[in-house]
Amino acid sequence: PSPEISASGAAATMIVRLLLCVLGLAATAAAFSSFTPRTSFGVAQSTSTLSMKIFDWKRREADESALNDVENTEFTFDNLRSAPGSRQRRKRKGRGIAAGQGATCGFGMRGQKARSGRPTRSGFEGGQQPLYRRLPKFVGRPMGPGHSKTVYNVIKLDELNTAEAGSTVNFEGLLENGATTKSKHGIHKIVVGRENFTAKDLTVQAHAFTKTARAAIEANGGKCEVLKATTGEVVAA
pLDDT in tens, 95-147: 988 878 888 998 999 999 899 888 899 999 999 999 999 988 877 666 666 67
Give residue 175's pLDDT band: very low, low, confident or very high (50, 70, 90): very high
Q: Which of 81-85, 176-180, 184-188, 230-234 bottoms out in mean pLDDT, i.e. has the lowest?
A: 81-85
Picking from 203, 197, 232, the residue whose alpha carbon sits closest to that of residue 216 is: 197
pTM of the model: 0.42
Around 65, how many Cα atoms within 13 Å sit in the side-chain half-sphere? 2
Q: What is the mean pLDDT of the chain?
A: 82
pLDDT classification of 64: cutoffs 50, 70, 90: confident
pLDDT at 157 over 80: yes
pLDDT of residue 59: 67
Cβ-based neighbour number of residue 223 at 10 Å: 14
User: Could you tell me the pLDDT band of residue 75, with boundaries at 50, 70 and 90?
Assistant: confident
Q: Over 60: is that where the pLDDT of 73 sits?
A: yes
**Percent of the chain predicted with pLDDT > 90:** 37
pLDDT at 88: 80
Higher pLDDT, 6 or 9: 9
200/163 Cα distance (integer angstroms)? 9
